[in-house]
Every structure is written in structure tokens, then in C-alpha cells.
Amino acid sequence: MTDLGVLIVDDDFRVAALHASIVEAVRGFRVVARAGSVAAARAAMNDRGDDIDLALLDVYLPDGSGIDLVAELACDVFIVGAETDAAAVRTAMRAGALAYLIKPFDDTELARRLAGYAQYRRVLVAEHVDQHAVDSALSALRFGTRASDRAEAGGHTEQRILDLFTATDGPLFADQVSQAVGVSPATARRHLAHLVSTGRLVMSLQYGTTGRPRQEYRLPG
């Protein structure tokens, strides 16, 4: 399966950048477009709709409610917003949203939900499915990756990365992991993203004075 394309819809550029960094850190995902309004989201779908599999959709947008946009979008949708009204949640789910994440939430929670969505897509790739496949797909959406995925060792390289974190007092950046383990930065980021998606590492973003935020990793707990 090719990488899943994501549209990020949020009028706060800092939040949009945060979500984009998380998306890019999870294996199998890429950001296709960002939009800061309902109109811009519609334009992005018109321009890049064939490349967009999932939209991360804020609720409060300058020209309308993201929830009202759910049924319009020709892609899957996660609501990612600060609206806590129960009726709004029901409306979003009734309109077709696959998940509803209330801000603020831990960076790892979005990564976990993205990994679950990837599993949902893998399970439902067949032309026909049985009840077990449906139950497995919906469980992946709700809980993220399967318990069996969490239990897998992930290979020798990922075990070396985990050993590095166990022996290190504090968080690490991907380039530090790359140098310590002796793999390329791209390989390190790929393994780190997988470890985050399976719950064995936690990722957060560190903002400097300029440039893109850096992804920082640590052991959970």
C-alpha cells in the first residue's frame, strides 16, 4: 500500500505544523496539503482530492464549522478540535467522522490513531470482508495498533534503539539515535515512528526560535 495522504485543516499555523510533524513521523503517511478555512479545505480537495485519504479537521474555522464539512469531503475524516459539546460529537460521528480527538492531547495519541487508521485501511483493502475483518478494522480505529503488534519485538535495530533509551537519562532526537545506533537518519526516523505508533516510545515536539519543530523521543511513563 502506498503512503496515505493527509489533509490538515486548522486555522492555527502552529497547531497545523505540529500535526504535520506528527503525520510525517508515522510510517506510511505524508502530508498532501494544509488549509486554514472551510473554503481552503474545499479548494484543496478540488485540487488534490485524488491524493487525500484522510483529513484532520478542526472544528472552529474562520468561515464555518469543520463538523459541517465532514459529509462534504470525499475522504475519511478525524475531527481534531477543542469542541467538547456532546451533541457536536454525535453530529460529527453521524456525518461520518471516524474519530474525534479533543484538544489538547498528547502527540503520541495522534500517532497511535494514525497507526490504527493505517491498520483499518489494510484490513479493508479486500473486495469482500467477513465479520472478523470488520471487527478488527473498527477495533484498530478505536484502539490503535493491535495488541499483537505491540508485543512484536520489531527487529534487532529497534531493540538496539530501545536499549539506547533505557541506558540514556532523558529524551533523544532522531539524529542522536542515528549516530549512536549506527544507522542513517532516515532509517532511524522510520524505526522511531514505528516504536511511537506501537506505544514503546513517546514523541513530543520541541520548538526553537526559528525553523521547523524538532521531534524528541523518550520512553513512556
**Arithmetic mean of pLDDT, 140-158:** 62
The answer on pLDDT for 211 being more than 70 is no
pLDDT score of 138 more than 80: yes
Q: Residue 29: what pLDDT?
A: 93
Distance between CA atoms of residues 77 and 57, nearest Å: 7
Could you tell me the residue ranges of all domains in the chain? 4-117, 152-218
Q: Under a CB-based contact definition with an 8 Å cutoff, are residues 78 and 30 in contact?
A: no
Quick check: 151 pLDDT over 70?
Answer: no
Q: What percent of the chain has pLDDT over 90?
A: 51
Least confident of 56-70, 138-152, 163-177, 191-205: 138-152
212 or 185, greater pLDDT? 185
Tell me how far apart the alpha carbons of residues 61 and 67 are, in angstroms, rounded to a whole number: 10
Q: Give the cell for residue 20.
A: 504535520
Per CATH, the number for 152-218 is 1.10.10.10
Residue 107 is predicted with a pLDDT of 75
Provide the grid cell at 27. Answer: 510510517
**pLDDT at residue 85 tops 60:** yes
Q: pLDDT tens digit string along 107-122?
A: 778 888 898 899 899 8
161-186 per-position pLDDT tens digit: 999 999 998 899 989 999 999 988 87
Q: Which of 47, 18, 12, 14 is nearest to 33 (CA)?
A: 47
Per residue in 4-32, pLDDT (tens digit) is: 999 999 999 989 998 998 898 888 899 99
pLDDT mean across residues, the chain: 87
Q: Is the domain covering 4-117 a CATH 3.40.50.2300 domain?
A: yes
Q: Is the pLDDT of residue 219 over 80?
A: yes
Query: Taking the complete model, does pTM exceed 0.85, yes or no?
Result: no
The residue that leads in pLDDT, 216 or 40, is: 40
Determine whether 210 is exposed, middle or buried from the number of CB atoms within 10 Å of its CB (0-12, 13-18, 19+).
exposed
In this prediction, residue 153 carries a pLDDT of 43
Q: Is the confidence at residue 59, as pLDDT, over 90?
A: yes
Of residues 148 and 169, the one with the higher pLDDT is: 169
